[in-house]
Amino acid sequence: MRQKLERFALIHVLSRLPDRALVRIAGGKPVVFEGRTLNPLFQAMMYFNRTPKMERLPPAAARRVLARLVQVTQADELPMAAVHEERVPVQGGSIRVRCLTPPGLGARSPGIVWLHGGGHVIGDIDDSDRTVRYVATRTGCRLVNVEYRCAPEHKFPTPAEDCIAAYRWVLDNAERLGLEPSRLAVMGDSAGGNLAAVVSLAARDRGFALPAVQCLIYPVVDLRQLSKSLTTFGTGFGLTKPLIEWFARHYIRTDADRSDPLASPLLAESHAGLPPAIVTVAGFDPLHDEGVEYAEKLKEAGVPVTLVRHDDLTHAWVTMTATPPGRAAMDETCALVRRALSS
């Protein structure tokens, strides 16, 4: 509790300081790369970051670290008109989904299937609850938050297949859930962006209804880890290259899985016929380059793509809506999703 209060106070104080003071606190000069300048508040937050190195922890301990951290960095909980949970049948059991309805909606509305981040290893629908409440409110959509089973207890392809099953369940139950199936988005951040891309590929390849839009927020799309930004931003910006490999090692069964399109959607044989995409990248993120490459692949295949570059931010800004830069990035993303679902 003491650490939580200290982090909350630190973010509150830093958010009130002018940029010049933040830069002075965090080393005295701005962080600049190829014309991109790191947001001073994020620079200061990285400077004061004392989060344990998750790659040195067992998964259960890493999950507890994330649960404590997001309680401080996310925006306050927004009220919903209705919240209920259901069980979705999947191979070998069932998974939990949480269905949220923001205030002011009619009997039917557009919807979002949300897939949380966390490297396919950490995170759940409780950790992401305040985030999805924010998204539901800003987009004006009913939202289904999916608790897919995570690695290493459930390795690839289980998390991917869980998300595919959850999306199909939402399609099958759209009327009962108050959703318009023709205006359904699949959306997620980081590993959730990976899974949203995978769901879109599966919808095309397995012959069920495509999402109206796929929103991929700083997605991981190539588990081979070949991009330049993995090295350039691999330390000092929150998400590190060793942590990315820790996630991958827990997720995959063998190295051959890294080249499977259900794990690395960038490597799909074709990207033609996929739903329109919103792809966001952060300028100081190890995953920056593969996000840009995926957007380019989609565009080359004739898929309508909106690439949003948050050049001054780091990875994980979705979980930082307690800060003005995090809120602004989330608001911009939600506005794009809302527009895509209203057209």
Q: Residue 242: its pLDDT value, please?
A: 97
Mean pLDDT across 136-162: 99
pLDDT digits (tens, 9 = 90+) for 46-102: 998 878 899 999 999 999 999 998 988 898 999 999 999 999 999 999 999 999 999
- Measure the CA–CA gap between 178 and 110, rounded to whole angstroms: 9
| Of 321, 284, 310, residue with least CA distance to 128 | 321
pLDDT at site 192: 99
190 tagged catalytic: yes
Q: Is 124 a catalytic residue?
A: no
Task: Name the catalytic one among 116, 124, 127, 190.
Answer: 190
For the domain spanning 66-342, the CATH number is 3.40.50.1820
Q: How far is CA 18 from CA 7, 41, 73, 186, 290, in A?
A: 19, 9, 20, 37, 33
Token readout for 175 is 């009327």
Domain boundaries, the chain: 1-50, 66-342
User: How would residue 2 be classed by pLDDT, with cut points 50, 70 and 90?
Assistant: very low
Catalytic status, residue 285: yes
Split at pLDDT 50, 70, 90, the class of 262 is: very high
**What pLDDT, on a 0 to 100 scale, did the predictor assign at position 12?**
77
Q: How confident is the model at residue 185 (pLDDT cuts 50, 70, 90)?
A: very high
pLDDT, position 116: 99
- Check whether 333 has a pLDDT greater than 90: yes
- Confidence bin at 13 (pLDDT 50/70/90): confident
Catalytic option among 116, 120, 288, 315? 315
Please report the DSSP string for 43-100 in residue order.
HHHHHT-----GGGS-HHHHHHHHHHHHHHHSPPPPP-SEEEEEEEEETTEEEEEEEE
How high is the pLDDT of residue 129?
Answer: 98
The arithmetic mean of pLDDT across residues 152-177, rounded, is 99
| Structure-token pair, residue 322 | 């307690």
Q: Quote the tokens at residue 40.
A: 């001073």
Angstrom CA distances, 234 to 21, 102, 217, 227, stand at 26, 38, 18, 11
| pLDDT score of 130 more than 80 | yes
Q: Residue 309: pLDDT band by 50, 70, 90 thresholds?
A: very high
Of the listed 124, 162, 285, 289, which one is catalytic? 285
The yes-or-no verdict on residue 5 having pLDDT over 50 is no
| pLDDT, averaged across the chain | 96
339's CB contacts (< 8 A; 6+ apart) are: none
- State how far the alpha carbon of 260 is from the alpha carbons of 75, 91, 218, in Å: 36, 20, 20
Report how far residue 216's alpha carbon sits from residue 282's, in angstroms, rounded to the nearest whole number: 12
pLDDT score recorded for residue 8:
58
Which residue is associated with the tokens 């989060």? 51
